[in-house]
Amino acid sequence: MLSKKMEQTLNDQVKWEYYSGYLYLAMAAYFEELGLAGFANWMHIQEQEERAHAERFYSFVNERGGRVVLQAIDAPPVKWDSPLAVFQESLAHEQKVTARIGALMDLALKEKDHATAAFLQWFISEQVEEEASVTEVIQKLKLVESTPGGWFMLDKDLALRVFTPPVIP
């Protein structure tokens, strides 16, 4: 059984994961407006992953006898200055998510809630990957910054990303 505090914090995370998806969808819309379909594809896949994360938190609250209470999701930004600015914001966002997952783990350990700690372990590792995949795109964007046509080459690269449903225990 979850403590009330843990139930509330996990519910907050459901909202946070859906917000992450909403943010990536807003980024996809920005890229679609620019005609960068590959960048948009990357963001759509990111959004699907975030939904999978949210659904896993949702299921976990239920499995542990808690009550899911959905919260209002904030509106994401609409515009950015450049593709690089978009990915820099993605990285800053993922770093916040990493800190939230870390705080959740701290709470689970403090409460000796071993089931929640075991559940969160997957998300701890996932955040390492999330930050690494965004950083990889930032590095590529910096490399092509002064190369005419660089965005379009990278666009073709990002078009290849496919959604693989995460296997979350």
Write out the binding residues for Fe cation: 17, 50, 53, 94, 127
The Cβ of residue 75 has, within 10 Å, a number of other Cβ atoms equal to 10
Max CA separation in the chain (angstroms): 57
Site for ligand FEO in 8-27 (CB under 6 A): 17, 20
68 contact partners, CB below 8 Å, separation of at least 6? 11, 14, 58, 61, 62
Site for ligand FEO in 39-78 (CB under 6 A): 50, 53
Q: Shortest distance, CB of residue 94 to ligand FEO, whole angstroms? A: 5
Angle, alpha carbons 75-157-140 (nearest 5°): 75
Kindly state the DSSP code that residue 76 receives in the 8-state scheme. Answer: P
Q: Shortest distance, CB of residue 53 to ligand FEO, whole angstroms? A: 4
6 touches 116 (CB < 8 A): yes
- Cβ nearer to ligand FEO, comparing 99 with 153: 99
Q: Shortest distance, CB of residue 169 to ligand FEO, whole angstroms? A: 15
94 is a site residue for ligand FEO (CB under 6 A): yes
Tell me which of 130, 137, 154, 155 binds ligand FEO, using CB under 6 A.
Answer: 130
